[in-house]
Structure 1
Amino acid sequence: MPDYRAHFDFDIRFANGGALSGTGFRLDLPSPDLAQDDIARLLVTHLGLALVDEVALRGLRVVSEPHRGSRGVDTSTGLGAGDAGSRTRIVDLSHPIRAGLVTYPGLPAPTIASHLTREDSRAKYAPGTEFAMDVITMIGNTGTYLDSPFHRYADGPDLAGLELSSLVGLRAEVFHLDDAWDQSRRGIRPEILADRDVRGAAVLLHTGWDAWFGRPEYGSGAPFLTGEGAEWLIENGAVLVGIDSLNIDDTESGGERPAHTLLLAAGVHVVEHLTNLGAVPPRGARFTAAPPAVEGFGTFPVRAFAEIPA
């Protein structure tokens, strides 16, 4: 079932004086056939306003468009999907790893070689039985991967020291920001995150930059999380932050890495190079990104995925 959003300008008057106006506003809708008064009430709920006396909508249009997570609109159950029970849909959020893949410019690409070919294995096993055993050589920062605190801090927990409860089945808050930034303002600031309850959640930042993955364009001009944005997420209880971009930090501002520094110091996991976040609703999904339990290692690829109620 498609999502719908309302596009409009608005004027709001308050019962105790004052007014508020907006142009080019967009609001998620639970269905395409809401009356204008119902949309006005949704607007008030989304903005968290009190003592509203009158709401006037101008130039109202309802269009088929993916939801962005407006408050007061339930997107967690498919908007009327009924008694779907415990059925879930799985969305893969990981880039496949292959020999020669360039994930991050300047880091080595993985190599894959045979340790035991199927042909050679036939001499070792019973007739009709064969196996392939392969060796992969790669840096931990390959494909879609998770950073543990050990990646940044020598005394931080390594991959083997992470609690599975902080990696599996997390409530996902997805921020669809693919149409909310440009080259002059690449940083994701706390203001754009502040309308959500992120406590205990995996915060997934959908920028759309994954469209360039594996191409030279991926390596420059990428969106990132600002240090202030990282501080806000920590203060508000996020347990994991993921992004579909080159890095959680701005790699073009010198050697500082404030988002990594702050998040990993606070024990907040970081997942970079996600993909397909546009297929995950703003709320209602569960997120998993568990690496192997490698001791003395800080970063490793994950098979990240979202579970969405059917």
Structure 2
Amino acid sequence: MKIIDLSGEYTEKMWYYGEPYTPYSVKDLACVDKNGYIAREYTLTAHTGTHIENSAHWSENAQGISETPIEKFAGNARLLYLPFSESKEITVKRLKAAGADDLEKDEICIIRTNWDSFWNKKEYVSESPYITVPAAEYLVSKGIKLVGMDSPMIGDPNDGISSVGADLVLPDYKFSEAGIPIILGLVNLSSLPEKFFFTAFPLKLHNGEGSPCRATAITF
């Protein structure tokens, strides 16, 4: 058995979405010399680094992360390779060419674009690859239970980051309506085979609209 780490490291000055989100930071609360132990305060949001986005991110009436069945966050996964060098737009046609027709019900779909190579670069968020709305609808129709990507956003960053227009339809909405959580900010997907066992468990945050997670791939 081999366990492959798919989460980015949390460091100060790492990427974040900008306002109204807050950047990751660390503050010392206790030290060995004074207290005999070390304690620190970590400031982050549910959407810092490699994280889970769930339906409660888009609706006050949606199920929070602590109420989402834990089975959603682990299972058999299939990797689809859609390099951003060919296009940053992920369409139904490109998904099918990458093998998405082979996705099975309750499988986890992980999309590799190689965008993790831009982690902590200024364009990581603002110029990231994205899934179109029809592509999201297609993936939902396959009956997947979770989707993940090595991009900080599932939708087009040009649709808005600090705020989203009420008239817009986002691919996120399609997954949210189907109860499919999204894993964003994955890394190291180039180390994966086509099929593997995936895990990415959230913190048990009451009414959480998402959560940081430690994502892994397990191969046998």
TM-score, normalising length from structure 2?
0.89
User: Which residue of 1 is the match for residue 172 of structure 2?
Assistant: 260
1:231 equivalent among 121, 137, 155: 137
Q: Equivalent residue of 1:287, what SS?
A: strand
Residues 149 and 158 in structure 1, CA contact (< 8 A), matched pair in contact too: yes
142-151 vs 105-114, which moves further: 105-114
User: May I ask how many residue pairs the two structures share in their alignment?
Assistant: 209
Percent identity between matched residues is 23
Q: Distance in 2 between matches of 1:173 and 1:273?
A: 17
Q: Distance in 2 between matches of 1:253 and 1:265?
A: 19
Would the alpha carbon gap of residues 145 and 157 (structure 1) be closer, same or farther in structure 2, given more than 3 Å must change?
same
Matches within 5 A, 1:235-254: 235-254=141-160
Q: Distance in 1 between matches of 2:59 and 2:185?
A: 21
Q: Distance in 1 between matches of 2:138 and 2:69?
A: 23
1:288 equivalent among 182, 199, 208: 199
Residues 125 and 153 in structure 2, CA contact (< 8 A), matched pair in contact too: no
Q: Distance in 1 between matches of 2:173 and 2:188?
A: 27
Residues 102 and 108 in structure 1, CA contact (< 8 A), matched pair in contact too: no
Tell me how large the CA RMSD over aligned residues is: 1.6
1:204 equivalent among 84, 107, 110: 110
Q: Distance in 1 between matches of 2:185 and 2:33?
A: 36
Query: Does residue 304 of structure 1 match 2:180?
Result: no
Residues 127 and 157 in structure 2, CA contact (< 8 A), matched pair in contact too: no
Q: Could you list the structure 1 runs, at least 4 aligned residues long, displaced by more than 6 angstroms after superposition.
A: none
Q: Equivalent residue of 1:204, what SS?
A: strand
- Alpha-carbon offset, residue 257 of structure 1: 5.1
- Alpha-carbon offset, residue 271 of structure 1: 0.6
- Alpha-carbon offset, residue 192 of structure 1: 2.8
1:167 equivalent among 46, 52, 73: 73
Query: Does residue 178 of structure 1 match 2:83?
Result: yes
Q: Distance in 2 between matches of 1:243 and 1:179?
A: 12
1:132 equivalent among 32, 38, 42: 38
Q: Distance in 2 between matches of 1:258 and 1:140?
A: 20
**Can you give the 5+ residue segments of structure 2 that lack an aligned partner in the other structure?**
none
TM-score, normalising length from structure 1?
0.64
Identify the structure with bigger relative contact order (alpha carbons < 8 Å, sequence gap 6+): 2
